[in-house]
Amino acid sequence: MNDRPHWPGSASDDPAGICILACEALAQFSPKSLALLSEALGAALANESVLAMVLPLGGKASWELDMDWFMAAEKRELEAFARDAFDLSERISNSEKPVIAAIGGSLSGPAAELALACQRVVIANTPALRVSFSLARFALPPFLNAARRMQQIIGAELAFALLTDGRECTPSNCLAMQLANELVAADQLMPRAIASARREASSAGAKAATLAFDLAQADLAQPLGEREQPIARAVYDALLDAREGAEIQNERAARRFASAALGSISRAMVATFHGALSRANQLARRPLGFSERRFQHVGVLGAGLMGAGIACVAARSGSDVVLLDRDQAALDRGMAALHREAQSALKGERESADEGKAWLARIHPTLDFDDLKGCDIVVEAVFEDAAIKAEATRHAEARLASNALFATNTSTLPISRLAKASIRPAHFIGLHFFSPVPRMPLLEVICGKQTSAETLAHALDFARALGKTPIIVNDHRGFYTSRVIMTYQLEAFEMLAAGIPPAAVEAAGTASGMPLSPLFLSDSVALDLIHQIVTENRREAGTSEAPTPGQALLATMVGELGRPGRKARRGFYDYDEDGKRALWPGIASLVSKPPEIEPDIAALALRLLDVQALEAVRCLDEGVITAPGDGDLGAVLGWNFARWTGGPLAYIDTQGTPEFVKRCDGNAALFGARFAVPDALRELASHQGRVHAHDWSRPARPS
């Protein structure tokens, strides 16, 4: 393809006068590509033979922000870039010659904003195609006037939601919201876009009329404070600016974009969602010297929620899957769940009916361990009990070839201990999947004491084959993700036990940016499971100290009151048959008298974030994780740690280690040793050091 935009000319199969604004150089959004498209637009507008234009977007023309340029750019460059981008979108929007956007693949941010500037949008009805209208994952506000255009079409409230949370829209979502005008088959995208351009060019008044709106009537709540949700304020201000003239909008948008881009929060989010994510997906930490392994045959032990999910992603990757359970009823339930997943994917436009049938056909349900013969890897996902897992391991390994991998899916049990049941511990590894497996992107790859480098390399190959993002973790009870998220829940229990009203505890979780409030999350995980883990952790540690007030409250809820959580419709919340919930009034009778002063929600929110960040540092200090990037990535992908921070370790660096340590010391004086600061972090704070700049590498210390 040429490096300049082109148009078909007068060939019989191409309508004359339709300019296709497409070239390889328009693949990324940068000053160079912006100038190139602006030049092409100007040439097309000046050429009398051009009647209309088609702008292909998605796929190679994803117009993702050029991150290499972005990270090196200075303030004046960022502001100039944003001004030029705004001007280009206005030229497209006001063009007397129609510009038709043809969306053929997933896109986000600038590309989606460009599409909204066009007179019409034609989008391919392709499974897995997604459109996100913001760069919220980098804490960057819109800067091509999407706020005004979306507000005109869908209203201020929905525009605010789409631009602040970065949610992805399916093609039918875009059509239903009128953010796209036509939904077409993928192979008809360009012909239909060209036909649409021709119709628009020949119709009177081709340019779309400006939609009137009244911001004063919009039901748009004030965003949370900038510390909690920095992008919310920027988007809110952009929506307010829609009342101003284009020149004022442009200038404010440019300053807002540059300010966010150079801010510590955006930089932290870029480091996680671009840098660490790219390195993990490229298997940058894969041991060298081992050829890539492919997995044609995969075995899964256990057809429950996790096992069925693992079978699903393995079959979708193209592997033949043996799904084994101990009784037919369990297998039938597992296969029924898989059929529901296929229907859900079809309804959600994630795959076609034929694709669903194909991967289901690759799954072979069985009760016979002999069917595991020939498997390249077996993933054990049976009940979270060491004895049951040991029995499954012995039966499966007796049928496997000597070079086959055996992986255990466990969220808490030490890998080295489970590997004692293996006759080949060098080939034994932990693969901690997250529920629901088909949706959650993270895979925690846990090395036991005897896990070989070759096994780790091939386990990472398996992760990539499944489309999962892997982080490498050394063995420890709870590993990394389960260990840290537990502190969020346990700290909420301590708050409750101290008399802080449950509604305030839940409000603090939401204000911190966590997607689920701590008590509701605990109910959903199951209070009896959390109690079991706490009890086992205390036994492992050999502690003789009395349970903390929060732990005692948990024991009362589970043991004395029989309130194990959402599964029984009785936990910190009461649940009706439709799933609606209300905080259980009886909590007040179990805890201390509420404090007389009103709870400070912002202070409680910081406390909930701090306790998680501190535990993440301990995991670094103990060698459970060995790279801060892995810690941040595992947090935001594994348990959705407040995404606006870029992760718990980036959160510390953003504030500065001295400020974080000072606050933890204050909490330690008030609440105890759970806020004690590791010596390594205190040393960093003494010279203004950063967690991400420190060398945390050390020999692993698995339990």
Residue 501 within a domain: yes
DSSP state letter for 473: E
Give the pLDDT of residue 703: 40
Residues 394 and 451 placed together within one structural domain of the fold = yes
Q: What's the rounded mean pLDDT across residues 242-268?
A: 92
CB 149 within 8 A of CB 115: no
Sequence letter at residue 454: E
> What is the tally of structural domains in the chain?
3
d(CA 412, CA 482): 7
Are 134 and 176 within one domain? yes
Amino acid at 146: A
Contact of 414 with 703, CB cutoff 8 Å: yes
Q: Which residue has the tokens 């400070």?
A: 600
313 and 418 co-located in one domain: yes
User: Residue 304 region, left (φ>0) first, then alpha (ψ -120 to 50), else beta?
Assistant: beta
Q: Tell me what the pLDDT averaged over the chain comes to.
A: 90
- With a cut of 80, say whether residue 670 has pLDDT above it: yes
Give the separation between CA 124 and CA 111, rounded to whole angstroms: 15
The pLDDT of residue 61: 61
Does residue 322 share a domain with residue 446?
yes
For residues 450 and 501, state if they share a domain. no
User: 3-class secondary structure for 350-402?
Assistant: CCCHHHHHHHHHCEEEECCHHHHCCCCEEEECCCCCHHHHHHHHHHHHCCCCC
pLDDT greater than 70 at residue 9: no
Asked whether the predicted pLDDT for residue 142 surpasses 60, the reply is yes
Under the banding of pLDDT at 50, 70 and 90, the label for residue 555 is very high
Last residue of a domain, one of 453, 474, 495: 474
Indicate whether 507 belongs to any domain. Answer: yes
Digit-coded pLDDT (tens) for 165-184: 888 999 999 999 999 999 99
pLDDT one-digit tens code per residue, 342-374: 999 998 888 999 999 999 999 999 999 999 999
Q: 433-492 pLDDT, tens per residue?
A: 999 999 999 999 999 999 999 999 999 999 999 999 999 999 988 899 999 999 999 999
Residue 173 in domain: yes
Comparing 54-63, 115-124, 280-289, 480-489, which segment has the lowest mean pLDDT? 54-63
Query: 103-122, pLDDT tens digit by residue?
Result: 999 999 999 999 999 999 99
> Where would I find the H helices in 572-678?
601-621, 628-638, 648-655, 657-671
| Averaged pLDDT, 322-342 | 97
Q: What is the pLDDT of residue 412?
A: 83
- Pairing type for strands 320-324 and 363-366 reads parallel
493 with 462, same domain: the answer is no
- Reply yes or no on whether the pLDDT at 162 is more than 70: yes
From 410, 442, 474, give the residue that closes a domain. 474
Phi-psi category of residue 17: left, alpha or beta, with phi > 0 → left and psi -120 to 50 → alpha:
left
Calpha distance 352→586 (Å, rounded): 48
CATH of the domain at 136: 3.90.226.10
Q: Which residue has the tokens 């994952």?
A: 137
Summarize the confidence of residues 554-558 as an average pLDDT.
96
Residues 464 and 335 occupy one common structural domain: yes
Are 464 and 492 in the same domain? no
Predicted local distance difference test score (pLDDT) of residue 179: 96
At residue 215 the predicted structure's pLDDT band, cuts being 50, 70 and 90, is: very low
- Integer Cα distance of 146 and 105 in angstroms: 19
Enclosing domain of residue 542:
484-599
Rounded (10°) CA dihedral 54, 56, 57, 59: 170
Tell me if the bond preceding 436 is cis, omega within 30° of 0: yes
pLDDT for the residue 12:
28
Chain Cα centroid distance, residue 531: 28
Output the domain CATH number for residue 513.
1.10.1040.50
- Domain-ending residue, one of 179, 210, 245: 245
> Do 28 and 69 belong to one domain?
yes
Cβ atoms 19, 53 nearer than 8 A: yes
pLDDT beyond 50 at 189 = yes
pLDDT higher at 12 or 320: 320
Summarize pLDDT for 487-515 with one digit per residue, the tens. Answer: 999 999 999 999 999 999 999 999 998 99
Beta strands in 62-198 (DSSP E): 64-65, 99-103, 107-108, 120-124, 131-132, 182-184
Q: What integer pLDDT is reported at residue 227 of this predicted model?
A: 43
Query: What is the length of the chain?
Result: 703
Instruction: For residue 439, give the CATH number of its domain.
Output: 3.40.50.720
Mean pLDDT (whole number) for 255-270? 94
Q: Domain for residue 570, yes or no?
A: yes
How many whole angstroms separate alpha carbon 260 and alpha carbon 143?
11
pLDDT band at 406 (very low <50, low <70, confident <90, very high): very high
When pLDDT is cut at 50, 70 and 90, the band that residue 222 belongs to is low
Report the DSSP beta bridge partners of residue 322: 299, 364
578 belongs to a structural domain = yes
Cβ atoms of 529 and 512 within 8 Å: the answer is: no
Closest CA to 327 of 366, 376, 288: 366
Q: What was the pLDDT predicted at 220? A: 55
> Per the domain annotation, does 270 fall within a domain?
no
3-state secondary structure of 25: helix
Question: Does the pLDDT at position 594 exceed 80?
Answer: no
Residues 301 and 191 reside in one and the same domain: no
- Span 526-542, mean pLDDT? 88
Q: Kindly state whether residues 506 and 454 are assigned to the same domain.
A: no
Residue 207: its pLDDT value, please?
43
Q: Taking Cα atoms as reference points, which of 175, 145, 313 lies closest to residue 242?
A: 145
Residue 457 lies in a domain: yes
Kindly indicate the confidence band of residue 636, based on its pLDDT and cuts at 50, 70 and 90.
Answer: very high
Same domain, 86 and 201: yes
Q: Does some domain include residue 688?
A: no
